[in-house]
Every structure is written in C-alpha cells, then in structure tokens.
Amino acid sequence: MTVRNRANDSIESTITKEQLGQAMSQLDLSSVSPENRQSAVMDHLMAVMAETVTDRDKSQEIKASRILRHGR
C-alpha cells in the first residue's frame, strides 16, 4: 500500500473556488452525448487548470496532454 500526501502533491492556482464554479458552469453539455459527458467535463477542467496554475511547467504539461489526447 502506498501512502500519498495530497497536500504535497497539489499545484498552486490563481483561481478561487467560486471562480472555478463559474468557469465550470460555462460548459454547455446539451450537445454532448451522455457517454461523452464525463470526458467533456474533464477536458474543460483541464483547460481551466492549464490557464490558472502558477507553475508554468505544469501548465505546459497539461496543455501538451490535451493536444495529444485530441490528436491535434
């Protein structure tokens, strides 16, 4: 069993909980099929994270992973 300290693994961000809630509520899932909604929500969350984390290396890593995931 591996014990992880999530506080040490966290990445600092410039966004508040309220701002995150507002950013996530901007996602329109009406045109997304039910089986793809979880993926769409996670992709939107990663887009918000990439723009708000203070660690630029992690930001670039998130952006690169989104590009690779979408095949663009």
Q: How confident is the model at residue 72, as a pLDDT?
A: 59
Stronger pLDDT, 60 or 11, i.e. the higher one? 60
The answer to whether residue 60 is domain-embedded is yes
| The two structure tokens encoding residue 27 | 């996602």
pTM of the model: 0.80
Give the pLDDT of residue 56: 93
Domain membership of residue 52 (yes or no) is yes
The structural domain count of the chain equals: 1
Six token digits for residue 22? 């507002």
Decide if 65 is inside a domain. yes
Q: List, for residues 4-40, the tens digit of each pLDDT value.
A: 887 777 888 999 999 999 999 999 999 999 999 999 9
Residues 6+ apart with CB under 8 A from 27: 40, 41, 44
In a domain, 21, yes or no: yes
Is there a domain that residue 53 lies in?
A: yes
Inter-CA distances, 16 with 22, 24, 32, 39, 61, Å: 10, 12, 27, 23, 22
